[in-house]
Amino acid sequence: MKFLTDDEIELDYNVYGTGKPVILIAGFGGYQEIWSLQVDYLVKMNYQVITYDHRNHGASQRTDFGLTMDRLILDLHELIGYLHLDSPLLIGHSMGASVCYGYLAKYDNVAAIMGVDQTGKMLNDSEWKYGFMDINSDNYRDKTSKPADVHETLHGLDSRVFSKLNEVKNKHPFDRVTSLPLLFDHVIKDWREAIEKSSHPVMLMAAKESPYYNFEFAKVIADLGENVTSAIVDNSGHDIMAEVPDQFNQLMRHFVLSNRRFQ
């Protein structure tokens, strides 16, 4: 299905099942199909599940306009309004988690959020050692212009997800170069205060073997926020929900059920 934003960019989205809403949000260069095994799981739990592709991603419109985090946050806000969703749960992976963090800073119409393997601040400095790899304010453009020379996953994606992703990647290739303005804007954001001061429950999930982050970021931020909790997942790289879906789904189940009363 298609949704037109107020700046006339067409976003592709899907709605599955009925019940209280959960929105699943992919990361930079990601596709909504990464959540395939979570969609099925949540629908069986009698939740309504919404997935979508960011502008310039997946089956959504290609554009060089609005490639900022603020615009992606607004896109999500408009989609929630368009679908008349009441206090949805937001679950975001990587940059999708940052969209969730930024949503907390701007809007109040959510029940709770889960951030999957995404630190609250990407740039490292003398006081923050939990950013993305070794990037800082001086080198981030050079360091992130090309994909990091690491394996994003630990053992690869679950085969059930891999086949679906390959199909959509071939059909809708992602152009990293044209999306670099979005990546650079993502990298320089600091969402720690929004997370720590959130009046809504926040769960930070980190992968112990993530190639990008020191997993301790989740506990460090959670220790500072009254409504923030953390979970560390063993035996997984960055794409937790698609690498160890059964383990992820159990943590997700706890998250959605424990926050159901806020919906």
Residue 191 and residue 121 in contact, taking contact as beta carbons nearer than 8 Å: yes
Looking at residue 121, its pLDDT comes to 98
8 pLDDT tier (thresholds 50, 70, 90): very high
**Amino acid residing at 32:** Q
Residue 30 and residue 55 in contact, taking contact as beta carbons nearer than 8 Å: no
Residue 194 and residue 105 in contact, taking contact as beta carbons nearer than 8 Å: yes
**Per residue in 144-174, pLDDT tens?**
999 999 999 999 999 999 999 999 999 999 9
What tokens does 71 get?
Answer: 């615009």
Looking at residue 167, its pLDDT comes to 96
Looking at residue 55, its pLDDT comes to 98
Looking at residue 73, its pLDDT comes to 98
Please compute the mean of the pLDDT values over residues 13-26 and round it to a whole number. Answer: 98
Sheet order of strands, 10-16 included: 2-4, 10-16, 47-52, 20-25, 89-93, 112-116, 202-207, 228-233
Structural domains of the chain, count: 1
Instruction: Compute the distance between CA of residue 6 and CA of residue 90 in angstroms, rounded to an integer.
Output: 22
Owning domain of residue 216: 2-262
List the CATH number of the domain containing 31: 3.40.50.1820
The rounded mean pLDDT for the chain is 98
Looking at residue 210, its pLDDT comes to 98
What tokens does 107 get?
Answer: 């809007």
190 pLDDT tier (thresholds 50, 70, 90): very high
219 CB-contact burial (10 Å; exposed 0-12 / middle 13-18 / buried 19+): middle
pLDDT cut 90: percent of the chain above it:
100
What tokens does 258 get?
Answer: 């424990």
Looking at residue 87, its pLDDT comes to 96
**Per residue in 91-141, pLDDT tens?**
999 999 999 999 999 999 999 999 999 999 999 999 999 999 999 999 999
Residue 191 and residue 105 in contact, taking contact as beta carbons nearer than 8 Å: yes
203 pLDDT tier (thresholds 50, 70, 90): very high
Looking at residue 19, its pLDDT comes to 98
5 pLDDT tier (thresholds 50, 70, 90): very high
Looking at residue 133, its pLDDT comes to 98
84 pLDDT tier (thresholds 50, 70, 90): very high
Which residue is listed with tokens 């099942």?
Answer: 17
